[in-house]
Structure 1
Amino acid sequence: MRYRVRHITEYSYGAPVSLCYNMAHLLPRDTRNQRCLNHKIQINPPPVYQNEGQDYFGNQTFYFSIQEAHKKLVIDVTSDFEITPLDALQWQAKSSLTCGELRAMLNAPNTPDLHMAKEYLLDSPQIRRSQALKDYAQATFTDDQPLLSAALAFTHKIFTEFKFDPDTTTVATPLEQVLEQRSGVCQDFAHLAIGCLRSVGIPARYMSGYLETLPPPGQEKLVGADASHAWFAVFVPELGWVEFDPTNDIMPSDQHIVTAWGRDYADVTPLQGVIFEGGGSQQLAVSVDVQRR
């Protein structure tokens, strides 16, 4: 399957910005079933400096600075991908590892991958382990449960017990509040799952990217109607990182497009930086379009 993704980010400021420095996580990365064919970045006003690189997690980064006064900033990124479908049932057939066996391996890691996975057991900027999160997950991840079956069951648990509602949370909403109110968006559900998994001793990481959405039968797809998406992945020694999407109750196959991964959203924020002046107010508009090629 081939896709073209166009992601347009537009900031409008209350007063001219005299200088800005930015880092973007908007470029594609290659995975075991995803290959980036090409990408193009257009920024207005044009940067005086720009450079592509990689962060600690191997994500593609784009640094740029603008040194002319501007009241509007537009970042337009177009990327082409080729994705090979993954068979979710095949994952389960390849691994019978139980949750207890994984915990034991992590207590005495004997491979570089296990050592690295332990980093995803720790607290991160937006995810803190807690007793409440542990209580919500521990019945699913008992020692005798196969890890992948437990992760699938927990994905379904979040999907059925939580309501998708963009008006109930912000990027700063604590996980305990999400757990109590049983609502949020894909970022909240990914953070919640990761916090719960880490609280019961299972390494989990945050996945950021896009999800192809299909219009109802007989209707045309609206340009720019797609959005950024978030899900999570669990470490399985024989398989590596296996992904789950609690917002849609599925294991990603060929409609999830990965841009970055990290400990949580703070590691992979699409755009972050510093501006000078700007009037103290700004408006953000984001348009994402995912099209099959």
Structure 2
Amino acid sequence: MKLEVKHVTTYVYEDVVSVGQSEAKLRPRATRNQEVWLSEVTIEPTPSVQGSHRDYFGNHTDYFLLDRPHAELRVTAVSRVNVHPPRLPEPAQTAPWERARQKLRETITVGPEGAMEHVFPSPFAAPAPELKAYAEKSFTPGRPLLEAAFDLRHRIFDEFDYVSGSTTIATPLATVMRTRKGVCQDFAHLMIAMLRSLGLASRYVSGYLVTQPPPGQVKLQGADASHAWLAVWCPGVGFVDLDPTNDTVPDASYVTTAWGRDFGDVSPIKGVVLGGGPHTVHAAVDVTPIDPQ
């Protein structure tokens, strides 16, 4: 599916910002299922210094410095991609999850496609006994890895409620477990931490999802949003994407932007400013099929 993504983020400050330095991870990355043929990032006002590089995980990263007084910052990213559905083995035919855990240690890999660093705790997705106990109901002895992972994904979807605004990035996973509610980044972090509690490798994935308006309604401009899901490492296959928020395997309607250990590695925009005082942030996202199939 060919898609165009437009993501506009606007910061409005109550006081003037004298200096601001930021980085953005807004450009989709090329993967085995995704081709990128356009990717542009525009910053207003024009930065005095601007550049780009690839981070440790291979994510496109733009950095920029604004050293002139300003009260508003707007970052616009426009991309065009062609996304293909993933080709996956039958879940019941994948290796037992214990064998996958052992295989991970026999074939240590690092870098952009590396798996080993995604076994260890990270700030937003740390293993815990209660998370391991929850996951073990799906990961019974000898069960095929993807079959168990699909079951865990479904249980999170079935037993937790998506409630917009119910959490922030600072909400601990223990709170999400207790209240049984959250948003996509919570459910991604939750399942990642559960998989890591079992000694499996799992990474956080950020991107976008094509959404459809309710029947009879027109899709509103800017009504889409960033999305988050995860991927689990499977021997002979590599990382397999899973979306517990929607209980599905991400398909051609998902656009991958970045991946890392957790949200902290893939934040769309982050930085520091001198001045500014209180501020508001508005994000508008449109994901539009170019040639619907």
Q: TM-score range by the shorter chain?
A: over 0.9
**Inter-partner Cα distance in structure 1 for 2:190 and 2:65:** 35
Note if 1:275 corresponds to 2:273. yes
Question: Residue 146 of structure 2: SS of its match in structure 1?
Answer: helix
Decide whether the 8 Å contact of 1:16 with 1:70 is kept in 2. Answer: yes
Q: How many aligned residue pairs are there? A: 289
Aligned-residue CA RMSD in angstroms? 1.6
Identity of aligned residues (%): 43
Structure 1 counterpart of 2:61, one-letter code: T
**Post-superposition offset of 1:94:** 9.2
SS of 1:38 mapped into structure 2 = strand
Could you list the runs of 5+ residues in structure 1 that have no partner in the other structure? none
TM-score (ref. length: structure 2): 0.95
Match of 1:287 in 2: 284
TM-score by length of 1: 0.95
Contact 1:95 1:238 in 2 (8 A): no
**Match of residue 75 from structure 1:** 75
Structure-1 residue corresponding to 2:170 = 172
Higher deviation after alignment, 267-276 or 209-218: 209-218
Following superposition, the deviation at residue 216 of structure 1 comes to: 2.5
SS of equivalent to 2:211 = coil
Amino acid corresponding to residue 159 of structure 1 in structure 2: F
Structure 1 residues 159-168 or 114-123, which shifts more? Answer: 114-123
Name 2:66's counterpart in structure 1: 66
- Aligned counterparts, 1:1-293, within 5 A: 1-87=1-87, 90-92=88-90, 95-107=93-105, 109-110=106-107, 112=109, 116-279=114-277, 281-293=278-290
Contact residue 99 and residue 147 of structure 1 kept, 8 A? yes
* SS at structure 1 position matched to 2:114: helix
User: 5+ residue gaps in structure 2?
Assistant: none
- Cα offset, 1:93, TM superposition: 6.2
Aligned partner of residue 220 in structure 1, secondary structure: coil
Q: Is the 8 A contact 1:101 1:143 kept in 2?
A: no
Query: Contact 1:194–1:204 at 8 Å: present in 2 too?
Result: yes
SS of alignment partner, residue 187 of structure 1: helix
Q: Distance in 1 between matches of 2:156 and 2:144?
A: 19
Equivalent AA in structure 2 for residue 142 of structure 1? T
Native 8 Å contact 1:191 1:206 kept in 2: yes
Q: Is the 8 A contact 2:108 2:116 kept in 1?
A: no
CA deviations over 1:232-264 (Å, ceiling 9, x no partner): 100012011001000000001101100000000
The letter of the residue matching 2:289 is R
Q: Find the aligned partners of 2:188 and 2:16 in 1 and give their Cα distance.
A: 36
Taking the aligned partners of 1:288 and 1:192, their CA distance within structure 2 comes to 25
Contact persistence 1:206–1:265 (CA under 8 A): yes
Shift of residue 113, structure 1, vs aligned partner: 6.5
